[in-house]
């Protein structure tokens, strides 16, 4: 039986990309070495990282006045790098918290504010309703001199998405795009900075993408060179040894996405997959999706529950036996979650719906 991997990350990768990596594993393009063995200063790796950047620029239509960085430390390190770098002259920053990851970003900012001169403010939060919606706020409340407004474009655990960016009174938007980068079309020019861990739509864990508008780069050095956007940018992401193999895999995934028609094509396919599942859930009296407003629903992560915790447990057990891997909801919310990123096939969603139908018939 085919295994379908519904993991929220590290997540399923395109089979064609894995096969290409396999083909090139022992001898990368007649170098006589695997990519893992190449020096990060070699001409071969120079070509890989430049091609990765160019392809990403093309896929996301990244304007020339933005730097693209390939860093480490995951999206979680960006929670700290952001204030350290962006709040040097302007000391205030706003946080829109619509999920657990956004809360973590805000919590890290508060922690840092005890050490550096920086004032994070919670602008809006949907924590009181267990993050079942995207909270709104009045843009007129924002100090136009603030450094940034932080938001999470896709809430991986709760299954909500910001499709239309809010008005921010001229304050740059900084976004954690970890779980819907390259899956949903955004206009980079609407953001001051975008960051994303690679392990959902881009490649293996270990690479973090940062796309930052040049005028927002820090003027002063920060705490540590590794945490300094300007140093990373000035060194073309080669200040130290970067995650070379992860960048190579990202390059293969970028090429693959381009070959299928780019982000718009990915988004159309993701909408088709998501609609299949949402339509089934909506017509069922047995399953439900916890998101309050349909307009906020994610097309990448779809949480759902049965009428009881016991049935959720049984569903998860039987799903595993059926070779549906990692469909269990995040430990903080329970239930189930189908993460169906770019590389997740339509047939997997069709099979899931058939399985859900049969499970409902047996248990209701």
Catalytic annotation, residues: 101, 176, 200
Q: Which is closer to ligand PMP, CB of 38 or CB of 157?
A: 157
Whole-Å CA distances, 249 to 15, 210, 266: 12, 17, 18
Q: Which is closer to ligand PMP, CB of 38 or CB of 97?
A: 97
Cβ 211 vs Cβ 178: under 8 Å = no
Whole-Å CA distances, 334 to 6, 29, 271, 306, 337: 15, 46, 24, 11, 9
Region 113-172 residues binding ligand PMP, contact defined as CB under 6 A: 152, 156
Radius of gyration of the chain, Cα coordinates, nearest whole angstrom: 21
108 is a contact residue toward ligand PMP (CB under 6 A) = no
179 is a contact residue toward ligand PMP (CB under 6 A) = yes
For helices 346-363 and 262-283, angle between their N-to-C axes, nearest 10 degrees: 10
101 is a contact residue toward ligand PMP (CB under 6 A) = yes
The correct pick among 68, 75, 300, 356 for binding ligand PMP (CB under 6 A) is: 75
80 is a contact residue toward ligand PMP (CB under 6 A) = no
Q: Which is closer to ligand PMP, CB of 73 or CB of 307?
A: 73
56 is a contact residue toward ligand PMP (CB under 6 A) = no
Q: Which is closer to ligand PMP, CB of 176 or CB of 228?
A: 176
Q: Provide the 8-state DSSP code for 196.
A: E
Binding mask 283-302 for ligand PMP (x = CB under 6 A): --------------------
178 is a contact residue toward ligand PMP (CB under 6 A) = yes
For the CB of residue 352, give the shortest distance to ligand PMP in the complex, in Å.
Answer: 21
Q: In the chain, which residue ranges form alpha helices assigned H by DSSP?
A: 15-24, 43-60, 74-86, 100-112, 229-234, 244-259, 262-283, 309-321, 346-363
246 is a contact residue toward ligand PMP (CB under 6 A) = no
Q: How many CA atoms lie within 13 A of 85 on its CB side?
A: 27
> Is 136 a known ligand-binding residue?
no
218 is a contact residue toward ligand PMP (CB under 6 A) = no
Sign of CA dihedral 326, 266, 186, 238: positive
Whole-Å CA distances, 265 to 9, 99, 183, 293: 22, 27, 9, 25
For the CB of residue 231, give the shortest distance to ligand PMP in the complex, in Å.
Answer: 21
Q: Which is closer to ligand PMP, CB of 38 or CB of 86?
A: 86
Alpha carbon distance 267, 204 (integer Å): 21
Please report, as ranges, the residues that interact with ligand PMP according to CB under 6 A. Answer: 8-9, 74-76, 101, 152, 156, 176, 178-179, 197
């Amino acid at each position: 039986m085919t295994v379908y991997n519904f993991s929220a990350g590290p997540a399923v990768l395109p089979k064609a990309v894995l096969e290409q990596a396999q083909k090139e594993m022992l001898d990368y393009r007649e170098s006589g070495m695997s990519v893992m063995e190449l020096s990060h200063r070699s001409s071969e790796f120079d070509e890989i990282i430049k091609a990765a950047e160019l392809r990403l620029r093309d896929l996301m239509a990244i304007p020339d006045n933005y730097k693209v960085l390939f860093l480490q430390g995951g999206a979680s390190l960006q929670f700290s790098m952001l204030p350290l770098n962006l709040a040097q002259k302007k000391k205030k920053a706003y946080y829109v918290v619509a999920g657990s990851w956004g809360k973590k970003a805000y919590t890290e900012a508060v922690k840092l504010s005890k050490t550096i001169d920086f004032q994070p403010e919670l602008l809006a939060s949907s924590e009181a309703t267990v993050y079942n919606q995207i909270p709104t706020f009045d843009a007129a409340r924002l100090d136009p001199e603030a450094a940034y407004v932080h938001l999470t474009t896709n809430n991986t655990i709760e299954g909500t998405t910001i499709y239309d960016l809010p008005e921010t009174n001229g304050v740059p938007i900084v976004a954690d795009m970890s779980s819907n980068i390259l899956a949903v079309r955004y206009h980079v020019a609407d953001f001051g900075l975008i960051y994303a861990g690679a392990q959902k739509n881009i490649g293996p864990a270990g690479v973090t993408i940062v796309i930052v508008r040049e005028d927002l780069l820090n003027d002063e050095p920060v705490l540590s060179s590794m945490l300094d956007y300007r140093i990373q940018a000035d060194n073309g992401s080669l200040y130290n040894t970067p995650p070379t193999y992860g960048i190579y895999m990202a390059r293969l995934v970028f090429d693959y996405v381009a070959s299928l028609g780019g982000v718009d094509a990915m988004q159309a396919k993701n909408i088709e997959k998501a609609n299949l599942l949402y339509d089934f859930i909506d017509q069922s009296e047995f399953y439900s999706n916890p998101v309050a407003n349909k307009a906020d629903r994610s097309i990448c992560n779809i949480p759902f529950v049965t009428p009881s915790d016991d049935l959720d447990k049984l569903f998860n057990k039987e799903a595993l036996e059926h070779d549906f891997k990692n469909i269990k909801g995040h430990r903080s919310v329970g239930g189930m979650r189908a993460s169906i990123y770019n590389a997740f096939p339509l047939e997997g969603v069709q099979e899931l719906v058939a399985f859900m139908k049969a499970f409902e018939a047996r248990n209701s």
